[in-house]
Amino acid sequence: MIIEISRDYLRAEMEKVNAHPASFPIFERKADIILLKVFDVPSPGANVIKQEMLSLGGDAVVHKNAVDCKAEMSDIILMGTKKHYEALLNKLEKVNYFGLKKLREELDEYFKTKRPDHIESPWGRRITFESTRLMGIINVTPDSFFAGSRKEGLKEVLEAASDMVENGADILDIGGLSTRPGSEPVEEEEELKRVVPAIKAVRQEFPQIPISVDTYRARVAKEALDAGADIINDISGLQFDENLVKIVAEYKAPLVLMHIKGTPRDMQKNPHYGDVVKEIAEYFCERMEFAIASGARPEGIILDPGMGFGKSYEHNLEILSRLKEFKSLKKPLLIGASRKTFIGKALGDLPPEERLEGTLAVTALCALNDVDIVRVHDVKENRRVLALVEAVKCQRHS
């Protein structure tokens, strides 16, 4: 009999084989084949990398015309264990040609960078990421796409917050500006009137619950932070208000950088990408560089691919099937898919009110892929899904 074992259970299976415990870390390193893609390497350099990886026992995929340099540049898919990459970095130590110095620096930075295991608010509240966290949605709006999320008046806001906290929300996300497809923004004063009192009321009632404010406006962010909010959740990735990054830097506030193509008004008018994952990753790198250069704390940045924000049905599904690529950017990852249109389409064009089961499936998928935060409307149901998934995941380490 032959069976293929899961990498997650390698240590347990080695114990059953009665291998020497001192060998466990050695075999585990050999079992982790890491696939890395690097972009735009001169073809001579790509050929060097191909040969070096082969000599080390790894491999590399290059452009079919790289070998004779008929293609000027080549992307490269590297295949190797951590040991292979360490040896490759050593070999490239003194190489300064064919773009290989830059490649070495990028690889070195990749392996040295660790994903933050927590974020901390300006007020000392901390969110850790040893498991997937739940962000509950409270919309202080009359026009959000899911009617069940709309809260009018502080009584409804506090009732929703109480229910979410009781059922296991880790973060409450409060927004006063609908960003559904085709929506027009309300005036800043109206957004302030909706959001700030809601945050003050929730903070007074629930002193310890982390609160994020869903806004792209600097003034709203500032007043929300002063009212007790902890996190800025910006759908525009710091594009819509040039002053917002100054507030983030001044308060040292955690920041969600979301990807969006266009604006809420026009984002769903035939969105197109040559390579959706690559383009979102490039956007994240550029936006992080801007944020950090402007004073934002690198350890406080969270990335959100922006499900439904300038994405087709197929784009959304590809994002969910390739979460590992986004996690490789070494930042906490947030997915906000709750009751969105692509879920309804996958289930036969169901309306928002009938998309709960699809949302729960997405939450399970995210948890299995170690997504750090899922943003949801229905906290109790999603908490139960997470509890079961985490119970299964715990068996990997028991």
Q: Which of 265, 306, 255, 314 is nearest to 283 (CA)?
A: 306
Is 340 catalytic? The answer is: yes
Place of tokens 């003050």: 200
**Catalytic residue (one of 261, 355, 375, 383):** 375
In single-letter form, the type of residue at position 281 comes to A
Q: Which of 303, 329, 373, 281 is nearest to 115 (CA)?
A: 329
> Are the C-beta atoms of 53 and 59 separated by less than 8 Å?
yes
Rounded Cα distance between 336 and 338, Å, is 6
Q: Which of 113, 38, 129, 156 is nearest to 330 (CA)?
A: 113
Q: Which of 339, 332, 333 is nearest to 305 (CA)?
A: 333
**Catalytic residue (one of 217, 311, 339, 340):** 340
Secondary structure (H, E, C), 151-217: CCCHHHHHHHHHHHHHCCCCEEEEECCCCCCCCCCCCHHHHHHHHHHHHHHHHHHCCCCCEEEECCC
Q: How many CB atoms lie within 10 A of CB 262?
A: 13
The CA-based diameter of the chain, rounded to the nearest angstrom, is: 71
Is 375 catalytic? The answer is: yes
CA 314 vs. chain centroid, Å, equals 18
Residues 6+ apart with CB under 8 A from 177: 141, 185, 186, 191, 194, 214, 215
* Residues catalogued as catalytic: 340, 375
